[in-house]
């Protein structure tokens, strides 16, 4: 079985590339992030022609997540229990959760596609929101792990787990994505028994998954590993291989992220 996760940075802008990649790579389950697409506008018909059932969560602005599966898609959950919101208020004066999480049961696994808040700057309310979001995610996943469910939580976590996961740690001093608080949030997920499935890089020693569009960062391999696959032990034990599909970051009009592809024993 093949599982993949990819921040596509607009599913509409990337649709021809996405469809070509799906046809060539043939993943059974796909987690997409930053779709920037309202749920009702997600290209369900196009992916269904390739054999996928789709579920999407989005409001048509930033953010947006989706799941594609050709091995079943049941018990779809938009957002996770207790997920905090930011900005826009609902009818009772609470901030609405953004379109950052969608979960479903696929082939007996509980699969999540996640797009963590960026955090912006260390003194921003968005950074507090990011840490609160991770704390709530930890609680939600803890309940599923405690229930004995095989769990895999994939996506753009917007955190580099270690200094080795950025091209030059000294350049990130005082910035988000590398702070002890953010890394502790990841550690809290691993403390649940989730395993970081680290992919093999296709070039160089570092399995970077994101390269800024500016200043030739991709060609210089000045990247970050911020797209992650966290899997419970029963899923992690089935991993045969995992790799960053760097080729998908090349060419005309790519996303600034590359997909991670994980092959599991059936």
- Clarify whether 123 is annotated catalytic: no
Identified catalytic residue from 52, 115, 129, 210:
115
Q: Tell me whether residue 256 is annotated as binding.
A: yes
- Clarify whether 115 is annotated catalytic: yes
Identified catalytic residue from 156, 165, 227, 245:
156
* Alpha carbon 175 to chain centroid, angstroms: 21
CA distances from 33 to 28, 43, 91, 147 (A): 17, 14, 27, 26
Return d(Cα 193, Cα 141) in angstroms, integer: 10
Return d(Cα 175, Cα 120) in angstroms, integer: 8
Q: Tell me whether residue 7 is annotated as binding.
A: yes
Return d(Cα 160, Cα 243) in angstroms, integer: 17
Identified catalytic residue from 57, 157, 177, 257:
257
Phi-psi label, residue 236: left if phi above 0, alpha if psi -120 to 50, beta otherwise: alpha
CB contact at 8 A, 111 and 105: yes
Q: Tell me whether residue 206 is annotated as binding.
A: no
Q: Tell me whether residue 158 is annotated as binding.
A: yes
- Clarify whether 165 is annotated catalytic: no
Q: Tell me whether residue 34 is annotated as binding.
A: yes
Return d(Cα 58, Cα 139) in angstroms, integer: 23
Binding-site positions for Mg(2+): 7, 34, 156, 158, 256-257
Active site residues per annotation: 115, 156, 257
Binding-site positions: 7, 34, 156, 158, 256-257
């Amino acid at each position: 079985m093949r599982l993949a996760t990819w921040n596509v940075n607009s599913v509409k802008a990337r649709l021809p590339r996405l469809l070509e990649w799906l046809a060539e790579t043939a993943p059974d389950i796909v987690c997409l992030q930053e779709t920037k697409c309202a749920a009702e506008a997600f290209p369900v018909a196009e992916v269904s022609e390739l054999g996928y059932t789709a579920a999407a969560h989005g409001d048509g602005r930033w953010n947006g997540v989706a799941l594609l599966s050709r091995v079943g898609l049941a018990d779809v959950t938009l957002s996770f229990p207790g997920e905090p919101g930011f900005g826009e208020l609902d009818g009772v004066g609470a901030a609405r959760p953004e379109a950052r999480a969608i979960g479903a049961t696929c082939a007996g696994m509980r699969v999540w596609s996640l797009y963590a808040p960026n955090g912006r700057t260390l003194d921003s309310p968005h950074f507090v929101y990011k840490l609160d979001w991770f704390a709530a995610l930890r609680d939600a996943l803890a309940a599923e792990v405690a229930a004995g469910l095989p769990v895999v939580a994939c996506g753009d976590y917007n955190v580099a787990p270690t200094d080795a996961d950025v091209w030059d740690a000294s350049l990130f001093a005082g910035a988000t994505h590398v702070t002890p608080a953010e890394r502790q949030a990841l550690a809290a997920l691993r403390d649940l028994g989730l395993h970081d499935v680290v992919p093999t890089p296709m070039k160089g020693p570092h399995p970077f998954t994101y390269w800024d569009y500016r200043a030739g960062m991709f060609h210089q391999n000045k990247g970050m590993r911020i797209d992650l696959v966290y899997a419970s032990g029963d899923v992690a034990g089935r991993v045969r291989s995992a790799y960053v599909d760097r080729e998908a970051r090349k060419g005309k009009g790519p996303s600034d992220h590359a997909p991670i592809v994980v092959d599991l024993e059936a």
